[in-house]
Amino acid sequence: MTYHVVVQFDVPSDKRDAFISAGLFDANDSLKKEPDTLRFELIRDENNRNRFYLDEVYTNEEAFIQHSKNETVARFYELVDSYAFGPVFLFKGYRVEG
């Protein structure tokens, strides 16, 4: 079973490009350096151009916990903490398989 996390961030309109750059850095670096990170996507809300989601999939919850402690995540927060509101966890959980 895979472990899924979706978080939301709201950013000021003048910081959208900076947030996109930081989010893509986080996503790409995590996918490259963390074999238990299976998917990491940055998604912009279709109705609110200042709202972004990180859609993440891991092999298990422990992989997410490890990801949360890594250097890439620390750098991401250094880049966005001064202006981004979030993360707001929309959900965390295991995929149901049948």
* Mean pLDDT score, 15-39: 97
Task: Tell me the sheet residues that pair with 37.
Answer: 58
Residue 59 token pair:
């092999």
Residue 43 token pair:
């998604």
**Which 8-state DSSP code applies to residue 49?**
T
| Interval 60-90: pLDDT, tens | 999 999 999 999 999 999 999 999 999 999 9
Q: Which long-range contacts (CB under 8 A, 24 or more apart) does 22-26 make?
A: 22/76, 22/79, 22/80, 23/52, 23/54, 23/76, 25/72, 25/75, 25/76, 25/79, 26/54, 26/72, 26/73, 26/75, 26/76
Q: What's the confidence (pLDDT) of residue 51? A: 98
Mean pLDDT of the chain: 97
* Mean pLDDT score, 90-96: 97
What pTM did the predictor assign?
Answer: 0.94
Q: Which domains does the chain have, with CATH numbers?
A: 3-94 (3.30.70.100)
